[in-house]
Every structure is written in C-alpha cells, then in structure tokens.
Amino acid sequence: MPTRDIVVIGASAGGVEALQRLCAQLPADFPAAVFVTQHLSPSARSMLPLLLDRVGPLPARSPSDGDPIGRGTIYVAAPDHHMLLRKGTVLMRRGPNENRTRPAVNSLFRSAALAYGGRVIGVVLTGLLDDGTEGLIAITAAGGTSVVQDPEEAAWPSMPRNALKRDHVSHVAKLADMGKLLLRLVKEEADPTIPLPEEYRIEDRMAAQEFSVLEPGIETPGSPSHISCPDCGGVLNQIESQDEIRFRCQVGHAFTPLGLAVAQSEELERALSVAARTHRDRIRLFEQMGANAHARGLPRAEDRWKEAAEESVQMIAVLEQAMQTLRKPVPDGEA
C-alpha cells in the first residue's frame, strides 16, 4: 500500500526562516518528495533553494518544467511560476495569478490533491491573508492530511489562523516539533483517494496553461458574480465547493474572498492616489492663473482661482483620509 510520500508546504511573510527551521529537521533518508511554495517577487532571483539546501541533508532545487519527481528532494517554486504536480512529474508554468500571486500555494496544493490524493500531506506555515486554506480543503477532501503551524508562534499568523478556521485541519504543530510529525506521517499508510469535483481539475489545468478559458467549449467553473476582476476588469465567476466560496475570471485570475477584498482595497487606493495627485496639479495650475490675474489687475478672477485652489486642498484632505481608512486590515486579515 502507498504511504504519504508527497509533502507540499506553503508560506508567505516570515516563511524563509520558518522553512529553514523545518527543512533542517528532515533526515537524509526522508521517504517523501517535498514541494515548497513561498510567495516571491516575480522579478527577483530567489536564493531560497540554496538556503534550504544548506540547512539540512536533503538537496533542494528549483525544478524545470517536466522534471521527474524523486523522493528525498526538496523542490522549490521559482519566481513568477506556479509549481504544479502530475503523476511522476513536476510542472513550472506561468498560469494566471491567484490572489495576485505567482507562485501561489493554492495552485500547488490543488494539483497535489488531484494527482496524489490520499498520499499528500499539506503544510501551511507563517504568512499573510489566506493562501493555502483552499488548497488544504482540496487535500483533505481528496483523502490527504493537513498540518498547520501553531499561529501563536508564527511570525505572521494570518495564513495558519485562516486555515484553522475550517474543520479540515488534521494536525497543529510548533515548528520545533513539525519535523518529527512529518517523519511519522510519511511512514504511515495513505488513506484512500477520494475524487474531487470537476471544477478543481479545470482550475488546475488553467494554472498549468493546458488550455485557454476563452477557447470555444471551455467554461470557467461557477456562475457570474456581478463582481469585476481587479486584475483585468472581467466578470468574476463565483465558485462554491466544499462549503467554501472562491472567485475566478474568464482570463483565469483567481481570488479567495479575503484576497479579493485586499485586491479591491489596493485598486481603490491607487485610484484615490491618482485623484489626489491630480488635485495637487490643479492647485499649481490655479496658483499660476491666480498670479497671472493679480499681475493683470483682475481681482475678481484672482479670487476665483484662489477659491478653486482652496477647494482642491479640501479634496486632497478628504482623499487622504479615505486612503488611511483603506489601509486598515480587512476582516480576518493582517495585510
């Protein structure tokens, strides 16, 4: 019988240190393949594979698209690429962002659940917002096992805390104990695999760029939500599965409700920033025109330009107050 030989780990803010501490605990004969997705800047070179390779006996590297999967290796997602699993193979693809992130934890977890079912152990570590929660739900629904870092010790507790709000989590552990826990779990017999709903497979193929959602006959799962996508402006479909709601547009951009709320706040803040900058430009224009009217001996015109400038000053204050309100954390988040 197969064992739990596929370990997928997701982290965000504070994740580099947490991943180093965890990977240092894994022995040289660790009988599983380990896959790590850490949120990364899309344009920066990642030193994470080198850092994880140095801390313990297991080799760590960023795979190439189509590389075979082998036990006793740590595979690390590269910047600006989703890392996805197929039977015996790892994919590196530039599919649509999920929660404005690529690589995304949910993409990795979802693909692992579809490919390996009950053989998967999903691990959520420190991080912002809720990436990984939907992925853990998919893993446990497929018969896999879930592990979450104790949020009380996490540098950024939002990711593990949001995961724990669901009833799918199998184990909660401190980092110091997680290596021993994983070593015990990977030696256990895997539970039977449970087929996932078809929408999971469609979303996984979108992340892998195996088809375009704009192709004839290809439909985005779910139903129109009447909410626009913050990334492209298209209509978001609302997908309900395993008692959870998530969103995906026709281009393929995906959001959890918390991630969508944060993305909308960012869009509003950008729009307000543009409006405030435009008002500052208007003040300079009005002051220049007021000075011109003064030089020409036109006091009424000068007063009108001065009044217009004062109105723009008031509008800037209103816009800046609105931006301060937007910077407050959304419910259940710590962004």
* Residue type at 229 in one-letter notation: C
Q: Is there a catalytic annotation at residue 332?
A: no
- Helical ranges in 208-328 per DSSP H: 257-295, 299-326
- Report, as ranges of residue numbers, the positions in the chain whose pLDDT lies below 50: 333-335
Q: Which of 5, 39, 107, 312 is catalytic?
A: 39
Sheet holding 82-86, edge to edge: 67-68, 89-93, 82-86
Q: Is there a catalytic annotation at residue 12?
A: yes
Q: Which of 12, 62, 158, 312 is catalytic?
A: 12
Q: Which of 5, 81, 111, 131 is catalytic?
A: 131
The answer to whether 138 and 202 have CB atoms below 8 angstroms apart is no
Q: Which residues, other chains included, contact 315 with Cβ-Cβ below 8 Å and sequence gap of 6+?
A: 275, 279
Q: Is there a catalytic annotation at residue 228?
A: no
Q: Which of 17, 227, 10 is nearest to 108 (CA)?
A: 10
Distance of alpha carbon 95 from alpha carbon 145, whole angstroms: 26
Angle, CA of 303, 308 and 309, to the nearest 5°: 95
Task: Enter the tokens of residue 317.
Answer: 């204050």
Q: Which of 145, 112, 123 is nearest to 38 (CA)?
A: 123
Distance of alpha carbon 309 from alpha carbon 320, whole angstroms: 17
Quick check: helix, strand or coil at residue 121?
A: strand
The answer to whether 230 and 256 have CB atoms below 8 angstroms apart is no
Whole-model pTM: value is 0.87
